[in-house]
Every structure is written in C-alpha cells, then in structure tokens.
Chain A
Amino acid sequence: MSATTTNHRRGFRLFALDINEIGLIVILLVLYFGFGATTNGFLSANNHLSLLRDAASIAIAAWAVTLIIIAGEIDVSVGPMVAFTSVCLAFMLKADVNVAPAILAALAIGGALGTFAGSLRAYFGVPSFVATLGLWSALRGMSFFTTNALPVTFPDNAFLDILADNMFGIPSSAIVMLVLFAIFSFVSQKTAYGRSIFAVGGNANAAELCGINVARIRVLIFTTSGVMAALAGVLLTARLGSGNAGTASGLEFDVIAAVVIGGTALSGGRGSMLGTLLGVFVITLIGNGLVLRGINPFFQEVVRGVIIVAAVLANILVTRYREHRIFGA
C-alpha cells in the first residue's frame, strides 16, 4: 500500500470502516457466535432486547465522552452524575412537578454541572481528571446525603412508562441511543464544532492559532457530557421507577473502556462514534454472556479486565503498524 492509497481514518465519510473497526467487528462476531453456540438462552429474543437495553445505558453517556477523549480530556464523573440527576428527577416528580419540566430541569442540572467542570478545565487549567473526580465524589455523596440511601419513589407516570418500555418492539432507550448515535456522528464529522474538537485534541496550540476558541470547545464538550449523563439518568429512573443514590456505580469505567476499545486515543485527536458503538457492544456482550454462563460474578470482573486490556493492546498494535505504513519511511 503506497502513500497515495493509504487507508487512513477519513473524517468525512460517515461510515468508512477503519482497520481497527473491522477488527472490532470480528471480535464482536466471535463473541456473539461463541456465546450463541455455548450458552443457553443467549440467542433468545428476550436476551437481545436486554442486550440493547444494557448497551443503551452505557452508550448514551459514551457518545459525549468520546468527544471529550478526542479533545484530549477525560470525564470520570458519569456514574455519580447519572445517579444524582436520577435522584433530582425523582424528588421533583415526588413533589408533583410536571414530567416534561422535571425532565428538562434534570437535563439542565446535568448540563450546568458539566459546564462547571469544563470551565474549571478551560479557564483555570484544572486538569479535567481532577475536576470530574471532584464531581464524582461530591455528586455521589450528595445523592446519598439527600436520600439517606433510600430509593426515592414517585407516582406512576405515563410518559416515563413509555421510556421504560418498548417502542415498535425495541426498548425505547435503545431508540434514543441510536438517534443520538446518528446525531453525534453527524456533529463530529460535519460541523465546525465537531471538527474543532478533533483539531483541539490533535494540537491545541495550532487550533488556537487558527482562531478556534479552544476554551469554548473545552467547556462545551463537558456541558454535552453532563446533559447526556442526565439523559441516561432519566432513562434509568424510568426503568427503575425510583431515584437511587447508589445506581450506575462504576458506569464511568464501562463508558471509558467502551470509548477506548473503540479506538479513540486517550492522547486525543483521533477517534470515532462508530468505534465507540462497537466498543459498547463488546462490553455489553461480555457482561451479558458471562452472566448467562453463570460464571462467578467476581471472576467476571477478572475476565472483563483482561478483555478490555487485550482489546486496547490489539488496537495499539494495529495503529502502530498502520502509522509505520503512513508516517514511517
């Protein structure tokens, strides 16, 4: 393959497959048919719906975190953000606030908290890991503090029931996930905002000198992430029928793992929504398959850890090989 026909990541075609994405699809097929052949109930229609629902709980937050990681930042506050907005929503519904304004308020709270973390990063130079780690601790604590660790229940609500149920035979949350996937793919590839995120992550100095408002981009990605985590919180509240302070524990790591497995570089500048989608399914399939096989839950964590690292290692080796082709010699 000469330099003229190099198959590098093409930002502008929405679904051009990268070698790393092809690799992920192979991994997915192996996992899917491997579990399908050996595990009872894995291929049932019900299990497929459950797979989609599990995927949605990770993916909705993962779309925004993909943008954050492409920009060279990190967000570890996702899990507590989901729990906190879920608790907020439950309190509002319990107080008989109308469902539409309550959901909007929950999304606004998520957005505001994300904006706060992003501003700390953009204007004060607080590393995003630290800013979101602060949120991670404070929001989880706030959730437990305000609820005394008890579920916050609220009267039945028709709209939330729709969100918790299926539409056209597919879980509503999965539909939300797919619609957002389309939007995020589009925004990341076809808008100035999306391309500026790649430029900031690829070389923030150069982006700044081009006149791109780097600080604004850095704030906006965290605002987006806050809103997406809040949306995941809304869907979770609908599914559980209550607000729970302890929910979505460790979700941030599933989200980051999915993004990284999807080939988005933690150093920034490179990544794709499609990769994250595949990464989400890898994580979901592993979790689901291991549960169905009845593997000891503690040992599941071990297997998951090994698979995550192996997938990323494979990705790095593939990338290195490809860069050697493009940049080397």
Chain B
Amino acid sequence: MQTARQQDPQPLVAAVRGATKHYPGVLALDDVDFEIGRGEVRALLGKNGAGKSTLIRLLTGATVPDSGEVTINGAALTGSGTQRTVEAARLGVRAVYQELSLIVGMSIAENLFLGRWPSSMGVLSHGEMEHQARETLVRLGLTLDPRRRVATLSPAERQLVEIARVMIGEPKLVVLDEPTSSLAAAEVELLFKAVRSLAAAGIAVIYVSHRMSEIRQIAQAATVMRDGKVAGTVKVAGADTAEIIRLMLGHSEQEDRLVGAARGGDTVLSVRDLAVPPKLSGVSFDLKRGEVLGFAGLLGSGRTELLRAIGGLDAVRTGTVLLDDKDITRASYGERVKSGIGMTPESRKEDGIVPLLGVDENTVATDFSKVAVNGVISASRMAEAAGDIIRRIGIKTARIDTPVGTLSGGNQQKVVIGRWVYAGSRILLLDEPTRGVDVEAKSQIYAIVRQLAAEGKSIIFVSSEIEELPKVCDRVLVLKEGNFVQEFSAPGIETDALMAACL
C-alpha cells in the first residue's frame, strides 16, 4: 500500500528498506519498508510493541538493523554504536521524545544550543546565542523571549522549545513522539503551528500519535504498524477511523477471556463531577463491590490524573469522592489508605518497590502493625503474612526475604499488588499493572485481578493496552480530553469499538 507516496512528487528524505531487527525472544521489525519525502508530515500509529519505537530508532541510528538498509538524504547509514547516531544527526535526523530533556534552570537560548554554545575565544557569546535563538523561534512562529528561564514556561511552551531545539543546524527529518500527550487541548494548536512551519521549510516530520482528530489536521498520510510489520500506509483524507483500527488490530481472535456476565454489587466508591484542571473536567462514575472497572484512554487523556485524584495524591478543584457514602474528598492519602484504598503506581521502579528490601518487608510496608507484637516486629508473623501473600498471588521468589530489586518485573508488580491485599484494602487502583512485564506474567496478573474481584474487592484497572481491558474488566469507561465519553459493559466488549472510542 504505497499509494500515498507514489502521488508525492517530493524527493525522498529518508528510506528504510527490508529492515529486520531481532531482540532476544522478539522479532521487533520484520522486513519493513518505509519512505518519507520532503515537507511531508506522516503519522505513525500502532499498538504498544508494534515496532514503532524500533523503526524510529533505526532512523535516528540508535539501533542497527540485522538486515536491511537505512538511507537518509540518499546516504546509507554505515556506522555502529554511538557513531551511527552521530552520523544520522549529521545527516539531519532529529527526534523529540515524550520525556522532556530541557535544563529548567537555564534560559531558552542556552537550552537551544546545549553543549554547542556559540563562543569566541572560549568565552560564551550570549548576544549571538540570543540572536540565533530568536531567529529560530520566529521561524517556528513563536514569540517567546529567548532569555526566559525554562522553569517559567508552561508544559506546552517547553514542548515547543524542544521542537525549536531540533531546528538548530540543518534538520531534514524530525520525529515527534506523542508530542501532545502532556498538553491540554488548547495548547495543541500552538504545536500544530510549529509543525506546519517545519513542513513548510521542507522538513519531513514523523508524527507519532493516536489521536485521530489531530492526525487529520496535521498529517497527509498515516503509516500503521502491527507485529513488527507495516500493516499499511493510507492517505488520511481518504481513510476512515475504522480502517485504521482494522490495520492496527488485525484480525487476531480474542482468547482467554476471564470475564463472565457483569454482577451487580453495592456501590462502594462514587465519584461525582471531579475536576482537576487542566486535565480533568467533571468526571463521574460508580464502582461496585467485586467489580473490575477499566479506564481506557490515550496517553495524556487524564487516566493517571484521575487515579491520583481518587487516591488523594492530587488536590481536586471541584467534585466529590464518596467511599461507602462517606465524603472523603478532602481526606489525605494516608486516611484513604486506612479506610481501604490501595494504589499501585504506573512506574514500578520509581514509585513502587524498595529494591534493596526483601519481598517480605516490601509486602508488610503498608501496615507494619499487623505483624508486630507490642510494637516489635515479629519475624515469624512477618514470614507468615508474606508467605501467605506469596502463595495467594503466586510470586516467584527464591526466599521470602530476597531483595525485590532482583525479581523479574512481573513478580515485582505482584509484590506491589500483594502489599494491598495484605493490608486488606477493599478498593485497588491499579495504574498500568502490566507495563513492562512479559506475556506469561500478564495473564497471571489478569487472573489475580479476577480472583481479587471474586473475593469482593473492587478494582480500577488503568491500561494503555486497549486489547487487555476486555480480558479483565467487567466495565470499561473511555476517557478522552478529560472526560468519560463512552461506557462498555461485559460480556462482549469489542477491542476495536473500544479503540474507536479512544481515538
């Protein structure tokens, strides 16, 4: 499906031909061809693990293909290791990733020239730097003062500075990885303006995003990846969303569904008109006893913010959170934990585990008092409690006191969930519980979640992998631009309908 390219008269900026890349146990790219021409904005879509990142890494020289060829502006990349990255950068490839990499204590101008500050005789020339920075900003249609410190900028402005940074030198191909995920709707227009200036200057732009409305506004064509292959490249103008979803999902049958017909328990958690500017505006839902409720939504749709607000980690502007008809909107995180809410964070390493402590202590950390006698932790009680959780959740560990940092990601995640089971929490808020764990561990985690629900616990399951939600959830709510737009109930939640609601 090369229709989009063939009608494009512009010369090629980058081409990948027959690229294959193996990682241990995974075929990340399977004979992939990809081309992009001058001044083109190409959307790149695909589920997690479809091969988008590997394709981008090929273009930026961060990865060498096992076979196949990458050419930038007619020149094939030949180096290996960091040399290859330098080579790609010299040929004009630039990438802006989701995590911002600005130094907030420095000015915009200093950030634009980071490490390559203009100088004469070893002395930085601030005037020259500001002059060049201002020119670059103006070229992108931005009116920011280059002397401003990055710390004073909004998230959108910082994103724009990141984009301005790639303009330094002579960029030919710019990769933007989910550039709007951290932006509020109103700020997206600023970014579009900048992207259009890039294209107008003849720069090819690869725009990784799944927001169809954005893709329609900014891109001419969309390349969809699936299972390490290019599933298709379609003209955005002609394609409807269903077509793109079909390309993303393929026709894989959904197996191992664990969800039966939805049961109706009593409402345990009730959220009304919850607003956390700028990400959430007036969200309402009920969570029933024994229910697994999924939150679907694209990156930046407000999933994590909603979970943090329910957990009491972020203050809410307006709205109420009722736990068993008791208003806990103003309760602190600690108070909510005591009343039976447990939360597992999105980032296991940074916020989840204490790597040097054992499985046992990581488990009982949510409530030391349960294994203490007169304030003294009893080794036998702790061993018993941790052993119980290890058995119930199926944590694979050599000993109960093995440092958690040495376990696999899946088992670490089970510990993080298990500590709330130990604490006796009734409501579990699971933020991306299957992120970064292998396939086997994923299905184990699904089974654990279903088992906990069967025991009467209520679970909110947040995931960016849309196809896993129908496997575990009794009900799925779709978040879009800070509000729920659609609700799906088991049985019979279809992945493509879910995906369509998210895009």
Most buried by B among A3, A6, A11, A326: A11
Q: Is B355's CB under 8 angstroms from A202's CB?
A: yes
Q: Select one of A8, A191, A212, A213 contacting B365, CB under 8 A.
A: A212
| Interface flag for B122 (CB, 8 Å) | no
Which of B34-42, B370-378, B441-449 lies on the face that meets chain A?
Answer: B370-378
A213 is contacted by which of B334, B355, B372 (Cβ under 8 Å)?
B334
For residue B405, CB closer than 8 A to chain A, the reply is: yes
Shortest CB-to-CB span from B189 to chain A, Å, is 34
B351 A206 Cβ-Cβ under 8 A: yes
Near A by CB (< 8 A), chain B positions 414-435 give 419, 423
Is B369 in the interface zone, CB < 8 Å from A? yes
At the interface, yes or no: B103 with Cβ under 8 Å from chain A? no
B365 touches A207 (CB 8 A): yes
Pick the most buried of A12, A199, A209: most chain B CB atoms within 10 A of its CB: A209
B353 touches A (CB below 8 Å): yes
**Residues from 186 to 229 in A contacting B, C-beta threshold 8 Å:** 190-192, 195-196, 198-199, 202-203, 205-213
Total contacting residues, chain B, CB less than 8 A: 36
- Interface presence of B495 (CB below 8 A): no
Is B488 an interface residue when CB atoms closer than 8 A count as contact?
no
**A327 to B375 CA separation, bound complex (whole angstroms):** 33
Least Cβ–Cβ distance between B383 and chain A, in angstroms: 9
Tell which of A190, A199, A208, A211 touches B377, judged by Cβ atoms closer than 8 Å.
A190
Question: At the interface, yes or no: A140 with Cβ under 8 Å from chain B?
Answer: no
- Stretch binding the partner chain, chosen from B19-27, B251-259, B319-327, B395-403: B395-403
Cα(A206)–Cα(B348), bound, Å: 9
Residues of A within 8 A of B334 (CB): 211, 213
Could you tell me the dominant secondary structure of chain B's interface residues? mixed
Chain A contacts for B177, CB-based, 8 A: none
B87 at the interface (CB under 8 A from A): no
Q: Tell me, yes or no, whether A10 is within 8 Å of chain B by CB.
A: yes
Report whether A195 and B377 are in contact in the complex, using a CB–CB cutoff of 8 Å. yes
Q: Residues of B contacting A212 with CB < 8 Å?
A: 365
Residue B403 contacts which of A12, A205, A208, A326 (CB distance < 8 angstroms)? A326
Contact A206 B354 (CB under 8 A): yes
Q: A4-B399, A206-B352 are in contact. Are A190 and B376 (CB under 8 A)?
A: yes
Give the chain A neighbours of B357 by CB distance below 8 A: 11, 195, 198-199, 202, 269
Residue among B337, B356, B401 making CB contact with A211, cutoff 8 Å:
B337
Given A11-B401, A211-B366, 9 extra CB contacts under 8 A: A6-B398, A8-B402, A192-B377, A202-B354, A202-B356, A203-B350, A207-B354, A209-B333, A209-B345
The contact sample of 17 A-B pairs, CB cut-off 8 A, is A9-B356, A11-B358, A192-B372, A195-B365, A195-B377, A202-B357, A203-B352, A206-B352, A209-B333, A209-B343, A209-B345, A209-B351, A210-B366, A210-B419, A269-B355, A269-B356, A269-B357
Closest 6 CB pairs of A and B: A192-B368, A202-B354, A211-B337, A4-B398, A205-B351, A210-B365
